């Protein structure tokens, strides 16, 4: 028998890994299990939004993430013998005073997960593969979960990060409500193709049955292939060769999926929580799914840690009240982008403007263009350092501005309070004070 753990996390994708990493760095024991026998190998959720990059900075993995990826390439439309560039889904903006990571960053999902696992291992954690949950029962004192190897484990909290077919969600009797937004399934695959220019994301829009796309994946020899599922059938190579004139040398990974927008109506049932795709399923348009899951975990981690150290259980109710409305809004955005085939991204999808202004955890007054509940922008301090450098870690931060107002920043980087009140501690830990003349930027 393994020693008891405080938290059992089911599903070791980006959401589960982020939550486990965040808990471990706060000294909270947790166990992370994954049904698959081996790590995921595909590129699926390849787009990391600016807000997610800020989270990865705080978690100590931004350098390997940046090294593993690259900016989004230009789109090149092929029309018979002619081709033309039509822009990019990403941007190439320089960093600003308030936004150190302004651009959508492409990293194959398998590489993102590997980097998160490496960081988790450095903190003493690990993923238990080929293991999942088969049943769970809870009472006011804890959760008894039965695992696929016959083991029973009792924990304080159970977190379902186990994707669209979540077993944890089924044990709660919750359903993903919503709709399919495309009549036909899609295929996504990682392929090797010799002789195709890797500087562009290639699209063939007038193939019978739908568009074929080939996007070069950074720091690999691979392209991500996207197409209607029916186009591929049993002969992906033949379809692609006929449509594009380029031969697939090798298929490394492939998956069929049905584009849909679905979500649950509850994120918490007692001591059991849902996060990521277990709570909301997105189409790939806009690159929102993985990023929304990572932010679910980042919102939940510090709250779980505080409650497990003796804080009020009611704090955990704010997880659902804060994250469920955001998932609903992001799903609406993803649906519109999928249906319109728009390539406009940037501010609409970078998740920097998402906020918790209506949360019970947000109080105080506006300061310039900042409101309680907003993401705190980066600042250059009077000693030349950056605010985000000081915010790394598990504690809340209190900034004293040149105007004399105090900004209390939650452990997840959102503003809890603006006013003259001094908070010596927050969420059970002493706050970190940033003193001196700090002037807010004119805009974020």
How far is the C-alpha of 342 from the C-alpha of 46, rounded, in Å? 18
3-class secondary structure, 83: strand
Q: What is the DSSP letter of 94?
A: P
Q: What is the DSSP letter of 414?
A: B
3-class secondary structure, 405: coil
What's residue 401's pLDDT? 85
* Buried b / exposed e along 343-381 (16+ C-beta atoms within 10 A): eebeeebbbbebbbeebebbebeebeebbbbbbbbbbeb
What's residue 347's pLDDT? 64
What's residue 177's pLDDT? 87
Is residue 415 a contact partner of residue 401, using CB atoms and an 8 Å limit?
no
pLDDT tens-digit profile of 257-308?
887 888 899 999 999 999 999 999 877 765 678 999 999 999 999 999 999 9
The CA–CA distances, whole Å, from 317 to 6, 63, 227, 356, 381 equal 18, 34, 41, 14, 35
3-class secondary structure, 331: helix
DSSP strand pairing (186-193 vs 200-204): unpaired
Q: What share of the chain is helix, strand, coil (3-state, %, to 5)?
A: 25, 30, 45
What order do you get walking across the sheet with 177-180 strand by strand? 177-180, 260-263, 280-281
Is residue 181 a contact partner of residue 260, using CB atoms and an 8 Å limit?
yes
Integer Rg of the chain from CA: 22
DSSP string, 355-404: --TTSTT-EE--BTTB-TTSBPPP-B-TTS-BHHHHH-SSS-EEEE-TTS
3-class secondary structure, 257: strand
What's residue 4's pLDDT? 46
How far is the C-alpha of 376 from the C-alpha of 374, rounded, in Å? 6
- One digit per residue, the tens of pLDDT, for the chain of length 444 reads 344 459 999 999 999 999 999 999 999 999 999 999 999 999 999 999 999 999 999 999 999 999 999 999 999 999 988 999 987 777 788 999 899 999 999 999 999 999 999 999 999 999 999 999 999 999 999 999 999 999 999 999 999 999 999 999 999 999 998 877 677 888 999 999 988 999 999 999 888 778 899 999 999 999 999 988 776 666 888 888 988 889 999 999 999 888 788 889 999 999 999 999 999 987 776 567 899 999 999 999 999 999 999 999 999 999 999 999 988 887 766 666 655 565 555 566 677 889 999 999 999 999 989 999 999 999 988 888 899 999 999 999 999 988 789 999 999 999 999 999 999 999 999 999 997 655 565 444
Global pTM reads 0.94
3-class secondary structure, 220: coil
């Amino acid at each position: 028998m393994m020693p008891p753990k405080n938290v059992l996390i089911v599903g070791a994708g980006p959401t589960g890994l982020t939550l486990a990493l965040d808990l471990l760095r706060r000294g909270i024991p947790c166990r992370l299990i994954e049904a698959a026998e081996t790590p995921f190998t595909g590129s699926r959720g390849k787009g990391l939004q600016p807000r997610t990059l800020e989270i990865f900075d705080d978690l100590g993995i931004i350098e390997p993430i940046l090294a593993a990826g690259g900016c989004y390439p230009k789109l090149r439309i092929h029309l018979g013998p002619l081709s033309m560039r039509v822009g990019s889904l990403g941007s190439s903006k320089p960093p600003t005073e308030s936004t150190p990571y302004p651009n959508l960053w492409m990293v194959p999902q398998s590489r993102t997960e590997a980097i998160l696992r490496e960081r988790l291992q450095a903190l003493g954690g690990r993923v238990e593969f080929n293991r999942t949950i088969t049943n769970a029962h809870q009472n006011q004192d804890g959760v008894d979960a039965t695992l696929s190897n016959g083991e029973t484990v009792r924990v304080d909290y159970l977190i379902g990060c186990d994707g669209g077919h979540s077993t944890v969600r089924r044990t709660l009797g919750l359903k993903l409500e919503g709709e399919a937004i495309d009549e036909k399934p899609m295929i996504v695959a990682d392929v090797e193709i010799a002789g195709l220019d890797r500087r562009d994301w290639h699209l063939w829009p007038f193939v019978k049955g739908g568009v074929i796309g080939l996007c070069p994946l950074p720091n690999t020899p691979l392209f991500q292939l996207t197409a209607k599922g029916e186009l591929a059938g049993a002969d992906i190579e033949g379809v692609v060769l006929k449509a594009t004139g380029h031969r697939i040398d090798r298929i490394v990974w492939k998956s069929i999926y049905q584009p849909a927008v679905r979500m649950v109506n509850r994120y918490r049932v007692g001591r059991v929580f849902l996060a990521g795709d277990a709570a909301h399923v997105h189409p790939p348009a806009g690159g929102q799914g993985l990023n929304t899951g990572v932010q679910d975990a980042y919102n939940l981690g510090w709250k779980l840690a505080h409650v497990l150290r003796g804080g009020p259980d009611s704090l955990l109710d704010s997880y659902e009240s804060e994250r469920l409305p955001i998932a609903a809004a992001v799903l609406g955005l993803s649906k519109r982008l999928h249906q319109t085939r728009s390539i406009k991204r940037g501010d609409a999808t970078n998740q920097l403007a998402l906020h918790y202004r209506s949360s019970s955890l947000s109080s105080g007054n506006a300061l310039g263009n900042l409101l309680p509940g907003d993401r705190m922008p980066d600042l250059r301090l009077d000693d030349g350092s950056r605010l985000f450098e000081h915010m790394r870690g598990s504690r809340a931060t209190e900034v004293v501005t040149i105007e004399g107002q105090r900004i209390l920043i939650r452990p997840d980087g959102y503003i809890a309070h603006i006013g003259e009140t001094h908070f010596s501690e927050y969420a059970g830990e002493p706050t970190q004070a940033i003193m001196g003349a700090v002037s807010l930027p004119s805009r974020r």
